Amino acid sequence: MTTETRTSRAELSPKPPTKTKRSNKAKTRAVLTEFSMVAPAVLVYVGLLVVPVLFAFYYSLTDYNGFPSQTPKFVGFKNFERIFESADVKGTMVLTGIVAAVGSLLVNFAALGMALLLQKTNRFNTFGRVVMFYPHVLSMLVVGFLWAAILGPQGAVNTLREVLGQGDLPFLSDPLWALWTMVGVIVWAQFGVQLVLYLAGLQTIPAELLEAARIDGANKWQLFRSVTWPALGPTATVAIITSGISLLKTYDVVVSLTGGGPAGSTKTLAYEILSVSFPERRIGLASAESVLLIIAAAILAFTVLALRKKADEGAESV
Partner 1 sequence: MRKTATISNALRISFVGLLCLAMLVPMYLLIVNSFKDQQSILSAPFELNLATATPDFLIQAWNSREFSVPFGYLITCGLVICVNIVSIGVCAPAAYVIARSPKALFRAILLFFIAGMFIPTQVILIPVIFVLRGLGLMGTFPGLVLFMASATVPFTLFVFTGFIRLLPKALDEAASMDGAGRLYTLWRIVFPLMKPIVATVFILNALGVWNDFASPQVILGPGSGLYTVTTGVYASVGQYSADYTKVFPTLLLAVVPILLIFILMQRYVMSGLAAGATKG
CB atoms within 10 A of CB 141: 15
User: Residue 214 CB, nearest distance to partner 1 (Å)?
Assistant: 12
CB atoms within 10 A of CB 316: 9
Span from 94-102, 209-217, 282-290, 310-318 in contact with partner 1 (CB under 8 A): 282-290
Stated length of the chain? 318
Judged by CB under 8 A, the chain residues 99 through 118 that form the site for partner 1 are 114, 117-118
Judged by CB under 8 A, the chain residues 59 through 98 that form the site for partner 1 are 59
Is 49 a binding residue for partner 1 by CB under 8 A? The answer is: yes
Span from 75-83, 89-97, 223-231, 285-293 in contact with partner 1 (CB under 8 A): 285-293
Which of 83, 140, 172, 183 binds partner 1 (CB under 8 A)? It is: 140
| Type and span of the H or E element at 318 | none
Tell me how many residues contact partner 1 (CB under 8 A): 86
Is 212 a binding residue for partner 1 by CB under 8 A? The answer is: no
Rounded to whole angstroms, the Cα distance separating 162 from 154 reads 10
What is the 3 state secondary structure string of 113-161?
Answer: HHHHHCCCCCHHHHHHHHHHHHHHHCCHHHHHHHHHHHHCCCCHHHHHH
Rounded to whole angstroms, the Cα distance separating 209 from 230 reads 12
User: Residue 130 CB, nearest distance to partner 1 (Å)?
Assistant: 5
Is 286 a binding residue for partner 1 by CB under 8 A? The answer is: yes
User: Residue 40 CB, nearest distance to partner 1 (Å)?
Assistant: 4
**Do 304 and 244 meet the contact criterion of CB atoms below 8 Å apart?**
no
Residue 176 class from Cβ within 10 Å (0-12 exposed, 13-18 middle, 19+ buried)? exposed
User: Residue 74 CB, nearest distance to partner 1 (Å)?
Assistant: 17
User: Residue 58 CB, nearest distance to partner 1 (Å)?
Assistant: 8
Is 171 a binding residue for partner 1 by CB under 8 A? The answer is: no
Which of 80, 109, 133, 224 binds partner 1 (CB under 8 A)? It is: 133
Is 25 a binding residue for partner 1 by CB under 8 A? The answer is: no
From 200, 177, 46, select the one nearest 118 (Cα to Cα). Answer: 200
Which of 19, 23, 25, 44 binds partner 1 (CB under 8 A)? It is: 44
Which of 93, 171, 287, 288 binds partner 1 (CB under 8 A)? It is: 287
From 294, 194, 192, 295, select the one nearest 242 (Cα to Cα). Answer: 194
**Do 26 and 242 meet the contact criterion of CB atoms below 8 Å apart?**
no
Which of 24, 25, 28, 45 binds partner 1 (CB under 8 A)? It is: 45
Peptide bond into 170 cis (omega under 30): no
Which of 106, 146, 210, 213 binds partner 1 (CB under 8 A)? It is: 146
Which of 249, 265, 307, 311 binds partner 1 (CB under 8 A)? It is: 249
Per-residue DSSP letters for 214-264? HHTT--HHHHIIIIIHHHHHHHHHHHHHHHHHHHHT--HHIIIIITT-STT
Which of 27, 47, 81, 309 binds partner 1 (CB under 8 A)? It is: 47
